[in-house]
A and B are shown apart, each in its own frame.
Chain A
């Protein structure tokens, strides 16, 4: 029987009091338990930044890697052993900046990994510089007079890249957050969860988000139409949260790989070749 304490780490987060990432951590544990995932079958992969310390705070397998590279590491893990549940947790610096290329291609391939981006529109751990999602006019250490760069819109970009599950949620609503993760865990393929997780120290937008967010599902929104998804993602007035887009008819990259490797996955197949096969292959070019 799964109990919440099974996911408890012995390390307490070193995040600032009030940091949005606490809500993300709580929601992730809740979602894993409710989804019936056993800790030893779950791998959490992260990059660099405040949010990326998360694997140490949740008792599961973890890989705390390089800035911007959690997605390819996660893809490698899932591709070597598809029995694992592989979740990448990272910040907007990791995934919308240095490593965005990997996100685009994971969406294109429909890799069966779940990506939670803790988006706080700022570089927190490096003490408050402009991030790819910082707003036009936002004052940061590297934009003292206000940013002159338009922010990246990750959700429509990933939709255009072929993303099959695209959602946004808010760390201030852990119940909604947990529900979105559970839905993502049930999804066949790549899931991007853009998580509004405000930085209380460098760019505190809690009050603003609380005022502007609304739930798509409360408005009868159906996430099955690409065109409607673009429209919903581009609401100029409010901050919609929920699942913008979802389709289950595309096989994941790992499902397609099973056709290539005949379901013999790398971790279960660490053995030499039969002697006669080696000899046959030796003479192939002769």
Chain B
């Protein structure tokens, strides 16, 4: 197979079917044996405005949006105006000259003029199929077998009347033939149609991973960009035997999830920043009652309602400071859909073993906003429910109550679930003793109870020390020794990885350390990992450098520089590349 690596961007107004066109292109690529990574540049509106879909496809594993645009399909003038500057010199543009005036475009860019609207009108009164005509043209430009597109179209419209798919396929074929008549394929790639690859967004991946980890209770209130998780759960409820609870607000959602977990289920809920803000008090309650809890936060940009369809890594500080006073929690930020799926196994096992809240931090860029090829999927999860008693332990009974919060050497008390005979207890969100008796109203402040409050508080907090030992250090990408070391976390690791390859080709001595386990920090391992770094450069998508500050706080580590982005778009590899080159110059100038 001849190697290839290219990007496609299709842009139009909302309502033009860009999401489905983008997904069809993605399917055509993955069914042609290519690795893909996509991004959905959508807006929070139903019709009008400007939306776009970007696909980076390659015969090698890809991680982010790649460099520039090789094939641009602007269906509106606005789409052209927004994106033409990023079209690569060797690229091409597929457009309808009756709709789009192509100005200021490099002569080297190949132009495919296709009467998209005119062809679309052959099959419908409105030119709604112009996007599929364009897909037909693109398929011809790329030299892909038309049948792959035809199959993707019939899959996409499978639920509608058969004539819808049929007409779309005809329209696409006309687009395909137009390009063939103009001279056909621009490129000379081979495709491996037999090795289609699975693609997922992190939202879908976490849903699948959670269910495979034994989660059968899912609760949600719709919020972008976390909504695809509830869509997936409800769509699969019957098939997989799931219980999906649609709460009246995020407060009910998280409290119901805690109730379900207390009752013995593996339960999860998800939301985005604003919804998480509402959930905070209850997450403190989960920690205090030592009820296992898994919550997913799919980060979007901005405080308040911010930018609902744009990305950010700005919620880390909230996760470090959820609710009031100190309590333990784990924070994990998977880097891509593949890791989001795999992390579910650990998240539920950690939540049950340590009886505390586990936060999974995704963001729009990989959550609702981007599909990516997944590999290395562990289909066989193991379930560790921790210290879960299924029958009465006489040592923990006083004839009336079960000693639910007993102090142990490892700070973790055995738990049981309602329905277990003789093991009754009250899960107390007020401070309590080992039996779960209330310290708060009558006993708090009495001298004999002061040490009990201290010990119960310590018992909860010290779980963090134990847990830290199994938290993972960052993954090193590149040489173990380099002049510059990029430190990054979560989804920002993807553009960094693609920038690294170009930087190495330019002779830059650089490596990167990708964090996905953010808190508690396995200090010993992380110190060891970061002992031999070059000048450290933090790459993260927020204004204040939230993870940079966490590393400073926990380990006293100082960065030499940082690259931050907070305009709502994900990092492009070129931004990392330019940033690192700039920093290298600074470093040299100083030397």
Contacts and interface: CB of A to CB of B under 8 A. Distances in A.
B385 A270 contact: yes
B352 to A, nearest CB: 9
A260 B400 contact: no
Of the four ranges (under 10, 10 to 19, 20 to 34, 35 or more), the interface on chain A belongs to 35 or more
Interface in B531-577: none
B243 interface: yes
Given A56-B438, A260-B238, A61 B425 contact: yes
A61 B416 CA distance: 10
A16 interface: no
B260 A80 contact: yes
A8 B265 CA distance: 28
A66 B285 contact: yes
A188 interface: no
Contacts of A131: none
A53 interface: yes
B408 interface: no
Contacts of A63: 259, 262, 289, 426-427
A-B residue pairs, 8 tightest by C-beta: A76-B259, A266-B265, A76-B256, A62-B426, A264-B241, A72-B255, A80-B260, A72-B252
A273 B200 CA distance: 18
B266 A270 contact: yes
Contact of A65 (B285, B380, B421): B285
A77 B419 contact: no
A193 to B, nearest CB: 20
Interface of B: 23, 27, 30-31, 196-201, 204, 208, 211-217, 219, 236-238, 240-245, 247-249, 251-253, 255-267, 281-282, 285, 289, 371, 374, 377, 379-383, 385, 398-401, 417-430, 436-438, 441-442
A105 interface: yes
Contacts of A267: 263-265, 417, 419
Contact of B430 (A38, A64, A84, A105): A64
Residue among B30, B259, B420, B441 with most chain A CB within 10 A: B259
A217 B244 CA distance: 40
Residue among A40, A53, A72, A273 with most chain B CB within 10 A: A72
Given A43-B263, A270-B385, A281-B208, 13 more contacts: A40-B420, A53-B441, A64-B427, A69-B251, A84-B419, A102-B251, A105-B247, A261-B238, A272-B382, A275-B379, A277-B240, A279-B379, A285-B199
A257 interface: yes
A75 B249 CA distance: 14
Contacts of A80: 217, 243, 259-261, 263-265, 267
Interface of A: 8-11, 14, 38-41, 43, 45, 53, 55-56, 59-66, 69, 71-81, 83-84, 101-102, 104-105, 125, 257, 260-262, 264-267, 269-273, 275, 277-279, 281-286
A273 B264 contact: no
Contact of A40 (B215, B260, B418): B418
A11 B403 CA distance: 14
Nearest to B254: A72
A18 to B, nearest CB: 18
B255 A10 contact: no
A264 B244 CA distance: 12
Contacts of B383: 270-272
Given A62-B425, A273-B212, A76 B245 contact: yes
Contact of A66 (B23, B282, B374): B282
B158 to A, nearest CB: 12
